[in-house]
Amino acid sequence: MPKDEETKERKRMVVEEVSPEEKPEPQIPEEAALTPEEEKIEEVKQEEPKEEKEEIKKELEPEAPKTQEAPPQKSSSLALWIIVPGFFLLGALLGGIFFYQRGVNTAATQTPAPTSEAVGSTSPTPTPSAEVDLEKYEVKILNGSGIAGEAGKARSLLEKAGFTISSTGNASTYDYTKTIIQAKSDVDESFLTALSGALSEGYSVDSKTQTLQESSTDKVVVIVGSTKN
């Protein structure tokens, strides 16, 4: 039959044209179109798991602890009621002590305490003239100040103190400013100290005592200077 032969030849040609490597991919059949009611059902199904997950998540999450309001502290107000009066009492106590001490000090200054020593019981301090023999050595006075009458004034001063004056005269020069004491080496130091103290009542006396030569006939010599006290 000629038609059968033609169809066979066509099939053979198609088979030859299609290579075994180029196999057609299987086509997935398209889903059938959904109706509006079916689409709503599908949306509800997709949303349900989300809501369930959120509810499960809320159940699993620990609840935050509720902060409890602290009851009002009655102890602080009680402490204030105790502390405030305490401050007032302390201030009053300190003020009383201050005024008491002030009154005691005022009374002490107004009424001096009586002394235990009787009037006139104190013994006078001993003077060098009371311990030293002022008449042991005779004193010679020379005027070295250049002022007339100074030797006589010094004589009166020393005789009043208790010393013995052998003679008065003028020094070899009149340029002495300080009064100088000259003595031999065997004269007592206590006598020279007393003599210097007596002369200091009217004159500026040199602190150093000059030594007289052994050939001198005088034991003690005073040269009066121009400087006075």
pLDDT per position as a tens digit, 132-164: 899 999 999 999 999 999 999 999 999 999 999
Would residue 178 count as lying in a domain? yes
User: Average pLDDT of the chain?
Assistant: 74
Mean pLDDT of 87-107: 75
Would residue 184 count as lying in a domain? yes
3-state DSSP: the chain helix, strand, coil percent, rounded to 5? 45, 10, 40
pLDDT reported for residue 116: 43
Q: How far apart are the first and last CA of the chain?
A: 183
DSSP state letters, 186-213: TS-HHHHHHHHHHHTTTB-B-SSPEEPP
The CATH number of the domain where 185 resides is what?
A: 3.30.70.2390
- The domain in which residue 210 lies consists of 132-224
Confidence label for 122 from pLDDT (cuts 50, 70 and 90): very low
Task: Output the CA torsion sign for 149, 151, 157, 160.
Answer: negative
Q: Is the pLDDT of residue 29 over 80?
A: no
Rounded Cα distance, 159 and 198, in Å: 10
Name the more confident of 89 and 107: 89
Torsion of CA 195, 198, 201, 202, to 10 degrees: -60
Would residue 48 count as lying in a domain? no
Identify the CA nearest to 168 among candidates 102, 99, 223.
Answer: 223
Confidence label for 85 from pLDDT (cuts 50, 70 and 90): confident
Identify the CA nearest to 220 among candidates 167, 149, 174.
Answer: 167
pLDDT reported for residue 22: 47
pLDDT reported for residue 57: 57
pLDDT reported for residue 99: 73
Would residue 177 count as lying in a domain? yes
Mean pLDDT of 97-105: 73
Mean pLDDT of 37-41: 67
Q: Is the pLDDT of residue 119 over 50?
A: no
Answer yes or no: pTM beyond 0.75.
Answer: no
pLDDT reported for residue 197: 95
**Number of structural domains, the chain?**
1
Which residues have CB under 8 Å from 171's CB, separation 6+? 142, 143, 144, 223
Would residue 190 count as lying in a domain? yes
pLDDT reported for residue 213: 92
Token pair recorded at residue 204: 């500026």
Torsion of CA 185, 190, 192, 197, to 10 degrees: 170
Identify the CA nearest to 184 among candidates 129, 139, 133.
Answer: 139
Would residue 63 count as lying in a domain? no
Q: In the beta sheet, which residues pair with residue 93? A: none
